[in-house]
Chain A
Amino acid sequence: MKYDARPCPLVKKTQLTDTIFDFRILNKELAEIAKPGQFVHIRVPGKTLRRPISICDINGSEFRLVFEVRGEGTDILSQTEVGGEVDMIAPLGNGFKIEPDQRTVFIGGGIGVPPMLYAAKQSNNAVTITGFRDKSAVILEKDFKSIDEHILMTDNGSAGRQGFVTEALKDVIGNADMVCACGPMVMLRGVAEIARQAGVPCQISLEERMACGVGACLGCAVLVNREDGTQGYKHVCKNGPVFNAEEVVF
């Protein structure tokens, strides 16, 4: 059996900002097979739908999940106490394809930043760019700095450089072999366009409202260009969440 839904213990919990939580969840067997860019699908007590959350990092037998409280479901999840359990189906989806020696730019915007951490750690030649609204929203700065070259951007310049991640990307795209990104759609569109103009392949991680998480219900649709020249829908949970940017119809 490829999939399993099982309760896993929450071993550590930290609040990173007003709305962002950092969970460490223990499951050796699942952690060993998790790849960067994949996600976990978490059952929330009292809710019909599970919540898909990207894998921020894997440390030995621990999943690190960094998520934002956006609504009731994530609010309930954030109240899980250390010692309690998190029921998750994991790992799911197709992650980033990373060649360790390629010059790869890893870009995250806002709550799209966490999955880029585990991804960037797979590279021996990484530049990481993270972008946030302002200083109060900045997360994982130390983690990214410890990997390799890191550029922090904020919209208002209250931390790092002022500006969007796309401006920083323009500075480093010249000697890049690959771009990997996760963040708001408007950011991904900008990143994909810069990469396209530079002739650099680009992988983007997408988000969509999801139900089953495994590709059965066809809920989390994303419009793509198909090989036969027509357009059709693929699904974030099974075909993604990481797609080649040129495949996606923005």
Chain B
Amino acid sequence: MADLSVNIAGVEFKNPIIAASGTIGFGHEYSEFYPLEELGGISCKGITLKERLGNPPPRIAETPSGMLNAVGLQNPGVEHFIEKDLPWLREQNTVIIANVAGSTQEDYCKMAERLSDTDIDMIELNISCPNVKEGGVQFGTSCESVGAITKAVRKYCKKPLIVKLSPNVSDIASIAKAAEAEGADALSLINTLTGMRIDINTRRPIIRNITGGMSGPAVFPVAVRMVWQVANAVDIPIIGMGGITTWKDAVEMLMAGADALQIGTALFTDPYSPVKIRQGLNDYLDRNGMKSVTELTGTVITG
């Protein structure tokens, strides 16, 4: 039995498998499949200062080896999260990451300040949601804007700060460096790739929002490439995600430079996938005589 624990920015995870924001809500539903303590952590559904209703349906479309979503950050607001969801989550014996999104820099700062007074473990700054008109990804696509919002939030954030990066950029390594320079404790990547599908019978986009965020196995090679690029550019820990579906994908993502992993869309195909991935990862380490999962990180040989 290998040691699966990892330490990300001072926070101890019993294993590197974290449920990705937006796919597991606040954990209640998937806790009806297995105890959430099986997971290293949960990144909660993106929350905003006030309740958001989200986008009109359809919000979902399937794509070859993946899917599009445009939920549009439907959530009950940060106060509801703190009062109704957090006390229950805290009892689940897993790391709790609050994923925060906003329309303005002020929103992000207010939420970071408010959540710093709670017993969440980490804050993940969502500056990469492609499905809202204001805010979200507009903060995440240039070095200047990523640097500015990281710097601003850092002043209010007393918790370890993860900045979640968008893949819809030309040079993700530079953006990662900008976040690191302004005080990010860790990075998570990739958020979804903006995509679109059209119903050929109606000539209308399948998703009412027209475009949506693409996820699933189809984006995995893009995610591996970006994690590798960012790992070569920064010294802070990286949480790799994007289409991880099997334990082999998990091993690959760690080799590319990830210190921990998030699993999202795979939950929809198989709710047990995070548990199976954890087990497969453990078996791989044992077979290869590795004592700790940390021995895998960044071990890709490119020379």
Contacts and interface: CB of A to CB of B under 8 A. Distances in A.
Interface of A: 1-5, 43, 47-50, 73, 89, 208-223, 231-233, 238
Contacts of A209: 57-61, 206
Given A43-B270, A50-B268, A238-B29, A211 B54 contact: no
Nearest to B65: A48
Determine which residue in B60, B61, B63, B265 has the highest number of CB atoms from chain A within 10 A of its CB, and name it. Answer: B60
Contact of A49 (B28, B34, B53, B67): B67
B265 A48 contact: yes
Interface stretch (B19-27, B106-114, B155-163): B19-27
Nearest to B62: A49
Given A221-B56, A232-B53, A48 B216 contact: yes
B280 interface: no
B269 A49 contact: yes
Interface of B: 22-25, 28-30, 32-34, 45, 53-63, 65-67, 69, 71, 74, 206, 216-217, 265, 267-272
25 contacts: A1-B32, A1-B33, A5-B33, A5-B271, A48-B265, A49-B60, A50-B269, A73-B62, A209-B59, A209-B60, A211-B67, A214-B30, A214-B271, A216-B24, A216-B25, A217-B25, A217-B69, A217-B268, A218-B25, A218-B45, A218-B54, A218-B71, A219-B59, A219-B60, A221-B54
Nearest to B215: A48
Contacts of B32: 1-3, 214
B57 A208 contact: yes
Nearest to A230: B53
A222 B71 CA distance: 12
B271 A211 contact: no
B81 to A, nearest CB: 14
Given A3-B32, A5-B33, A217 B23 contact: yes
A214 B29 contact: yes
Contacts of A73: 62
Contacts of A49: 60, 62, 67, 268-269
Given A3-B271, A209-B61, A216 B30 contact: yes
Nearest to A221: B57
Nearest to B271: A5
A209 B56 CA distance: 12
Given A214-B29, A216-B30, A221-B71, 10 more contacts: A3-B33, A5-B33, A43-B270, A48-B66, A89-B271, A212-B23, A216-B24, A220-B59, A221-B54, A221-B59
